[in-house]
Structure 1
Amino acid sequence: MDMAVAKEARMAASILRLHFHDCFVQGCDASLLLDDTPTFTGEKTANPNRNSIRGLEVIDGIKEKLESACPGIVSCADILAVAARDAVILDGGPYWDVPLGRKDSRTASLDEANNNIPTPNSTLYTLLKKFLLQDLSPTDLVALSGAHTIGQARCTSFRDRIYNGNGGIDSDNAYMSVLKGICPPSGGDNNLSPLDSVSPVLFDNAYYRNIVNGQGLLTSDQELSMHGSITSEIVQRYAGDPLAFWQQFSDSMVKMGNIVNPLTFITGEVRNNCRFVNE
């Protein structure tokens, strides 16, 4: 995976995002990786995933090498969890021990993918509710959102924020001018902007400093610092203490990575190919 990240710095964030989007649907069971077939509908065409999930070929490559060395041992769900940790390390972030033993699901849920995964325009209330649904606390929400200290977002993800006053950037703000140059009112849907304009390929706490300054790229980012909210104090703390962010991010990643559907341990498997269930 280090070669993939060296070739394209954005890939680290893409791998990390795969793990997030997987765990919020049926738990961390690699259901996101399943391709559609004539008789099976997966999660890749859900609104939060369609035309936006990336890095699938990287996971395929890791799986192929593992199957050659030790067939039938390492699940695709475990690969996602370890790859997410390693992606953070490759961008200068913290190490944490990844609990293993996940099974791969033989099912997927397009409906849950459309409803459970937070969207870029989510309000704070919606974010808190969707994280609580996964038994993740407001502290987990703020810490895990710090993943946006790396990576990029498409124009379609932040257009509302800059043109509809959704999340509030001052109209004369220099950051607003930069974003409008990247993302016009119409067209240019796939134009990209760094989620963290200060250090977009370094896993640091600049994301929180940006939010404090009103320069979170997504509405869902800026909502975290809403005045008087349950999350604003946490944002302030991480903005001033990078080690506190790293520690909580590591703890919250383990907590999120432990979201499982107990039935998966009974009905799940170790897939031979991450894109298809075993015959």
Structure 2
Amino acid sequence: MAKLAVLLTLLALVGSVTCQGYTGNASPPTPITYPSPPSLSPSTPPTYPPPSSTPPSPAPVSPSPPTTYPPQSTTPPNPAPTGPSPPAPGLRVGYYSSSCPKAEQIVKDTVKNAVYANRGIGAGLVRLFFHDCFVEGCDASVLLDPTTANSRPEKLGVPNFPSLRGFEVIDAAKAALESACPGVVSCADVVAFAGRDAAYFLSNANIDFAMPAGRYDGRVSLADETLTNLPSPFAGLDQLKKNFADKGLDADDMVTLSGAHSIGVSHCSSFSDRLASTTSDMDAALKANLTRACNRTGDPTVVQDLKTPDKLDNQYYRNVLSRDVLFTSDAALRSSETGFSVFLNVVIPGRWESKFAAAMVKMGGIGIKTSANGEIRKNCRLVN
């Protein structure tokens, strides 16, 4: 009977959570446009390829969450992790404590100035770290500019251009580091520190953790590798799980890192399939507002979270439950496999923030380069 009571309480909480979603009374979000990297503007906005999977199932008549919450297991959920995962081999916290003692503070000060001036740039720095690590590993390959030898590096790949931003913040931090301790701090570590620090400021210091360092910068950067490695906004759950598993990350990491969608903006082309579909499960009022906002020339942008667009918080998970999310990949998290984790991130204070810190550290260990296959760049945009 006790287990049944717990189950009924949790289901009641799910219902109360979904009531806090978007009501459709707000005005369409004002699109926000951020500058593209200098001298790289394309003639037309890129679009993602259409999804290859079958269309999503029609939305159920009732707006309540799936009846599979909670999962089949009747054991109480484990508490949130107490700290980040152990660092990847070769990385350690305080890596520059002797060689460049002020390294992390220099990056943090640079990021603080940028985020306070434009919180959208902070969202870009978190995304920059993610997009760097998923292609060629966490090696700053996403920072490399086109050259005669390589006319199409990662930053020109469809998922990255023109939406990826924050490059100028990395440049500023690297310049300050080269002045303080030349040739010591890798660009890959600058990207990792910047992603960590942006999360700290965007969350009002609720996401606060140590980032291991010791990465080297890679020399390979290919635009053609971006679509095959970066999760698509059109992806369903199985494809998302595969994308993350290929990088050594599990489904829980996927749910956790998706919470970064609680801040920043998205191009309309990234969720146009959901607006055009008659079977999309997107909230009807949100769909109507987005259709109006996206019905303009070019590829407009809209905020990803209508409730707390300038704060990195767990509001994203409330939006998932109430169908107030943009992407097919966001909606996929309502599945019976991942929906309970979404629910727990809503109802347990601090759970998601702690898990996000751990997932950022874990992601930061993907594909680490060493002195044997990497370098410490003098300029983050060019190999030495």
The alignment's TM-score, normalised by the length of structure 1, stands at 0.93
* Structure 1: distance between partners of 2:368 and 2:301: 35
> Which aligned pairs between 1:7-18 and structure 2 lie closer than 5 A?
7-18=117-128
Post-superposition offset of 1:167: 4.4
- Cα distance change of structure 1 residues 166 and 221 upon mapping to structure 2, 3 Å threshold: farther
* Structure 2: distance between partners of 1:165 and 1:75: 48
CA deviation string 1:199-245 (max 9, x = no partner): 0111211000011001112111111112x2x2111111112124110
- Cα distance change of structure 1 residues 165 and 61 upon mapping to structure 2, 3 Å threshold: farther
> Which aligned pairs between 1:39-188 and structure 2 lie closer than 5 A?
39-40=149-150, 41-91=152-202, 92=204, 93-165=206-278, 167-170=280-283, 173-184=284-295, 187-188=296-297
CA deviation string 1:157-186 (max 9, x = no partner): 12111222474225xx221221112112xx
Post-superposition offset of 1:96: 1.0
* Structure 1: distance between partners of 2:267 and 2:168: 20
Post-superposition offset of 1:194: 1.3
Letter in structure 2 aligned against 1:246: E
The answer to whether the 8 Å contact 1:149/1:207 transfers is yes
Secondary structure of residue in 2 paired with 1:27: coil
* Structure 2: distance between partners of 1:233 and 1:65: 45
Stretches of structure 1 lacking an aligned partner (at least 5 in a row)? none
CA deviation string 1:45-94 (max 9, x = no partner): 11111211111111111101110111111100000001001101111241
CA deviation string 1:14-50 (max 9, x = no partner): 0111100000011100000011111124111111112
* Structure 2: distance between partners of 1:165 and 1:261: 44
The answer to whether the 8 Å contact 2:320/2:334 transfers is yes
Match of 1:216 in 2: 325
The answer on 1:191 being equivalent to 2:304 is no
Post-superposition offset of 1:4: 1.6
Post-superposition offset of 1:261: 4.2
* Structure 1: distance between partners of 2:153 and 2:276: 34
Post-superposition offset of 1:253: 0.5
Larger gyration radius, structure 1 or structure 2: 2
- Cα distance change of structure 1 residues 69 and 261 upon mapping to structure 2, 3 Å threshold: closer
Higher RCO (CA-CA < 8 Å; seq separation 6+) = 2
The answer to whether the 8 Å contact 1:155/1:192 transfers is yes
> Which aligned pairs between 1:258-273 and structure 2 lie closer than 5 A?
258-261=365-368, 264-273=370-379
Count how many residue pairs are aligned between Structure 1 and Structure 2. 271
Match of 1:244 in 2: 351
- Cα distance change of structure 1 residues 218 and 43 upon mapping to structure 2, 3 Å threshold: same
The alignment's TM-score, normalised by the length of structure 2, stands at 0.68
Post-superposition offset of 1:189: 4.0
Post-superposition offset of 1:112: 2.2
* Structure 2: distance between partners of 1:98 and 1:165: 44
What is the percentage of aligned positions where both structures have the same residue? 42
Secondary structure of residue in 1 paired with 2:157: coil
The answer to whether the 8 Å contact 1:121/1:220 transfers is yes
Secondary structure of residue in 2 paired with 1:59: helix
Stretches of structure 2 lacking an aligned partner (at least 5 in a row)? 1-110
The answer to whether the 8 Å contact 2:215/2:368 transfers is no
Match of 2:130 in 1: 20
Root-mean-square deviation (Å):
1.4
* Structure 1: distance between partners of 2:292 and 2:198: 30
Secondary structure of residue in 2 paired with 1:44: helix
Match of 1:234 in 2: 341
